[in-house]
């Protein structure tokens, strides 16, 4: 298939020392699924202002701001292994601007080791891919979906991340497809 020269580019930004093996896996899989060009940007440090020392977590909103300021991609998603929160929620797997440019995913709680189990890289990659599809889906304007298995299902626990599928349901797929025409 031909790609037009003006094809919009999606940036993946590794934040600090996140596992580049995971980042490369995401680039490959996301390119195939969205049929868009994904580019891995050079790693960026997390803004010090995003760190909350009493929670030992990072506030995601200043990080989204940083991603928008430092890059000019059509859509941009940051990947971090630091634990994220927004005020009012103990933690978040990720955050995105609905219909906007920026998204972020944290792999901190997608690791088996977070739950006291032996690390499973394959599982981590699949979970990270689901969360990236989900957050990027939001940037394309998709809201939470209740279709069983759809990757746009809201997930508030690792159990729910594992339970949902790795694909968009027919309705969400149609929504995304219509954007491209």
Q: Judged by CB under 5 A, which of 26, 111, 172, 175 binds Zn ion?
A: 172
User: In whole angstroms, what is the distance from residue 93 CA to residue 158 CA?
Assistant: 9
User: In whole angstroms, what is the distance from residue 178 CA to residue 172 CA?
Assistant: 10
CB of 95 to Zn ion, least distance (A): 8
User: In whole angstroms, what is the distance from residue 60 CA to residue 114 CA?
Assistant: 19
| The token pair that represents 160 in the structure block | 């729910």
133 counts as binding Zn ion under rule CB under 5 A? no
39 counts as binding Zn ion under rule CB under 5 A? no
Q: Of 2, 29, 135, 160, which residue is the catalytic one?
A: 135
Total residues interacting with Zn ion, rule: CB under 5 A = 6
150 counts as binding Zn ion under rule CB under 5 A? yes
CB of 77 to Zn ion, least distance (A): 13
Strands (E) across 27-140 are located at 37-40, 51-52, 57-59, 75-80, 84-86, 89-92, 94-96, 102-106
Residues that bind Zn ion (CB under 5 A): 145, 147, 150, 152, 169, 172
The residues annotated as belonging to the active site are: 135
């Amino acid at each position: 298939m031909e790609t037009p020269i003006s094809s919009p580019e999606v940036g993946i930004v590794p934040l600090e020392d996140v596992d580049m093996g995971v980042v490369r896996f995401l680039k490959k899989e996301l390119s195939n699924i969205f049929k868009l060009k994904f580019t891995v940007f050079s790693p960026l440090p997390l803004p010090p202002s995003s760190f909350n020392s009493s929670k030992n977590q990072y506030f995601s909103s200043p990080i989204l701001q940083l991603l928008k300021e430092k890059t000019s991609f059509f859509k941009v998603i940051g990947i971090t292994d630091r634990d994220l929160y927004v005020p009012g929620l103990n933690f978040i797997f990720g955050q995105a601007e609905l219909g906007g440019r920026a998204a972020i995913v944290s792999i901190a709680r997608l690791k088996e080791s977070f739950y006291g189990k032996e690390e499973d890289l394959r599982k981590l990659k699949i979970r990270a891919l689901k969360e990236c599809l989900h957050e990027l889906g939001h940037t394309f304007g998709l809201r939470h979906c209740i279709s069983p298995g759809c990757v746009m299902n809201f997930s508030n626990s690792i159990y729910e991340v594992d339970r949902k599928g790795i694909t968009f349901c027919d309705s969400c797929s149609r929504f995304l497809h219509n954007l491209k025409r």
